[in-house]
Structure 1
Amino acid sequence: MSLTLQTFDPRHDPEPDGWERLRAAAGQSVTWRYDLLRAYAWAAQAPLLLTVLSRAGTPVGAVAASLRGVRPRRGAYADSRDPAGLLDVHAPANRSQKGWWFTGDPTPGERRDLLSFYLRGVRRELGLGWRGAVWREVSPGEPRHLPGRVKVSLPTEPLARLATPWAGIEEWYALLDRARRDSLRRRARSFAADLSIRVGPARDLVTPAEAADLRARNDLKHRSALFPVAPLPLPYFEALVGGEEVVAIAYRDGAGTLLGLSLILDHPAWPICLSWGALLPEEGGRKHLYFDGYVRMVEWAIASGKTGLVLGKGQAESKRALGADLVPSAALAVPL
């Protein structure tokens, strides 16, 4: 098997040849579009390294990793790479996906070979001081198919997935306990009576500035005190909202103020609920919009003939109460 790899710094390097064909062939969401990777990389607190793996000259997969060096940085970072650190393999700006993917359906053994080749190649480029890798969003049973003899697994928040095999919203309501069902119905009627609730292409419903503002409010509210992550910048949302693969659920009051916003990465089968943001009640917002957003998402998914929704991470028990399955997830540390 003739394998090669190319590494890219999305801030400076041009888009890899055939990148959009590769992304489409692998069924990857819009967050892997190169202009979005570039916008993410410029705002990240660690350099982003994108690697394209090829077999016999044909691209077959990609891996994205943040280079967590030994020198702590805050805000924008310098072009120089640290002499030592670890690879943090993750999907940029999207915790519902993995940071590695392939076209076709390689066997577990083939995946392991490809990822072993990736680690060897990237370490040759970065230097021997890069002594480990962390694979995020690792699914049950997957650790044995990842390279490395010694592995340390740390459970992380589960991923919520909701299948939507129903003909209408009432079939979903019927699965919920009575108190929750009655509450969701009552609030849905109340919000529909005095708010504008629109579902459709994000570019038609919100401005990038509005989307960035509500996402930042939500990120800051839930940010980690130990490892704070900077909110995504406006250029990221200019690229995201302006595309064709993002659906929005937008709540506005009579004055046109955006009170709440869900952004969904569209997909033929399993769209991904990327983010939610809302004004607090003391800022003019409305209580319980978060839960009403799920009603609108389920309605949209059923009407669109989707197999289900990836509801993402966080608020796991609330999502379980809405009928979602919780898929265990872990971060896997592997010394090189």
Structure 2
Amino acid sequence: MSVTLEILDPRHDPEPDGWERLRTAAGQCVTWRYDLLRAYAWAAQAPVLLTVLYEDGAAAGAVSASLRGVRPRRGSYAARRDVAGVVDVHAPGNRSQKGWWFTGDPAPERRRELLRGYVRGIRRELGPGWRAVVWREVSPGEPAQLPGAVKLTLPTAPLAKLATPWRDLDGWYATIDRARRDSLKRRARGFAADPELSVAVGPARELVTGAEAAALRAENDLKHRARLFPLAPLPQPYLDALVGGDEVMAIAYRDGGRLIGLSLILDHLAWPICLSWGALPPETGGRKHLYFDGYVRMVEWAIAAGRAGLVFGKGQADVKRSLGADLVPSSALAVPF
């Protein structure tokens, strides 16, 4: 098998031939769309590279990575790469996906060979100062598919996933703890009786602007800035493009005309991804417990839309487990070159 790479800087390089067809055929969500990759790369805190993998000349998959250099960055990154650092493989724009995927469903040994080709090629591209690759969101059983003899494993927050095989919400309610079920129903009745509150569920482009989404996301992002390699806040141009497309759903809570709560969902025929939640605190005009009601609306939408399930994402694992989600173990794997 001959593996070759097309290594792209989305800020400057044109979209590769057939990229949109490749993305959609592989079932990848909208955050891999090239215009969004470009907007994400311009806002990122480290240079971003998209690599398309070719096997004997045919596209076989892709890898997205940030180049974590030795010099600390503040704000947006400098135009040039560092001479040394670590290749951080992660999905662009969210941490509920992996940063690598394949066309079709290759066997584990073929996946390993494709990723071995990626590691060799990216090392040649970057030079000897780059010492390791970090693979994020590695699921149980996957370490054997990743190349490298020495692997350092760091457990990370589990990924919450909820299957939605029911005909209606009652089927879901029947699976969760009675106290949780009663509180969800009680809060839903309270919100329905609030004359100032309106709730809409539908395509994001019909319900919210990029500026509104950016304002609520920025408030939520501040809670997570202390973690290692935090995601940079998604800028308004990125969110303008994201919510203006056809593959994003929204749950929007408004008090009068003012947006006070917003959930964005990356739609998918099988497993949509809950990308983000943001809300105003009660002291500035929000409502208590909108966060929980948002899950009720998401599950109701997924059931009605015939989706196999929802990816609830990371964080708040105990809450999501109480809502019936399965927690899939996840880890980061550091592999020295």
**TM-score relative to the length of structure 2:** 0.97
C-alpha separation in 2, matches of 1:57 and 1:81: 29
CA distance in 2, matches of 1:113, 1:56: 13
Coordinate RMSD, CA, aligned: 1.0
How much does 1:228 deviate?
4.7
Where do residues 6-17 of structure 1 align in structure 2 (5 Å cutoff)? 6-17=6-17
Amino acid across the alignment from 1:260:
G
Among 214, 230, 233, which residue is 2:235 paired with? Answer: 233
Match in the other structure for 2:312? 311
Q: Which residue of 2 aligns with 1:270?
A: 271
Q: CA deviation at 1:108?
A: 0.5
* Higher mean displacement: 265-274 or 188-197: 188-197
> What does 1:197-276 align with in structure 2 at a 5 Å threshold?
197-224=199-226, 227-253=229-255, 255-276=256-277
Summarize the Cα distance change of 1:329–1:226 in structure 2 as closer, same or farther, 3 Å threshold. closer
- Residue 301 of structure 1 is matched in structure 2 by 302
Q: Residue 208 of structure 2 aligns to which amino acid in structure 1?
A: V
Match of 1:75 in 2: 75
Cα deviation 1:104-139 (Å, max 9, x = unaligned): 010110000000000100110110111101000000
> What is the deviation of 1:222?
2.8
Q: Deviations over 1:35-56 (max 9, x none)?
A: 1111111111100011001122
1:137-182 Cα deviation digits (max 9, x unpaired) = 0001111110000001000000000000001101111112211111
TM-score by length of 1: 0.98
What is the 5 A alignment of 1:127-206?
Answer: 127-194=127-194, 195-206=197-208
- The range that moved more, 209-218 or 75-84, is 75-84
Secondary structure class of the residue paired with 1:317: helix
* Higher mean displacement: 53-62 or 209-218: 53-62
1:214 shift after superposition: 0.7
Question: CA offset at residue 231 of structure 1?
Answer: 1.1
In structure 2, what is the Cα distance between the partners aligned to 1:272 and 1:149? 33
Query: Partner residue of 1:330?
Result: 331
Describe the SS at the equivalent of 1:37: helix
How many residue pairs were aligned?
Answer: 335
CA distance in structure 2 between the aligned counterparts of 1:182 and 1:76, rounded to whole angstroms: 46
Note closer, same or farther for the CA distance 1:313–1:228 as it changes in structure 2 (3 Å cut). Answer: closer
Displacement of 1:226: 5.8
Q: What secondary structure is seen at the aligned counterpart in 2 of 1:136?
A: strand
Tell me the distance in 1 between the aligned counterparts of 2:227 and 2:50: 28
Task: Identify the residue that residue 115 of structure 1 maps to in structure 2.
Answer: 115
Q: Percent identity?
A: 77
Q: State how far apart, in whole Å, the 2-side matches of 1:73 and 1:248 are.
A: 33
Q: Distance in 2 between matches of 1:95 and 1:289?
A: 23
Structure 2 distance, partners of 1:193, 1:10, is 48
Give the Cα–Cα distance (whole angstroms) in 2 for the partners of residues 36 and 192 of structure 1.
36
CA shift in 2, pair 1:229/1:305, >3 Å: closer
Partners of 1:251 and 1:21 in 2: how far apart?
Answer: 35
| Structure 2 gap segments, 5+ residues each | none
Distance 1:330 1:3 in 2: 27
Does the alignment pair 1:33 with 2:41?
no
Mapping of 1:76-95 within 5 angstroms?
76-95=76-95
Offset of residue 82 of structure 1? 1.3
Deviation (angstroms), 1:75: 1.6
Q: Is the 8 A contact 2:224 2:230 kept in 1?
A: no
Deviation at 1:225, TM superposition (A): 5.8
Q: In structure 2, what is the equivalent of residue 50 of structure 1?
A: 50
Cross-structure match for 1:96: 96
Q: What letter matches 2:316 in structure 1?
A: Q
Q: Supply the AA of the counterpart residue of 1:76.
A: S
State the distance in 2 between where 1:228 and 1:105 align: 31
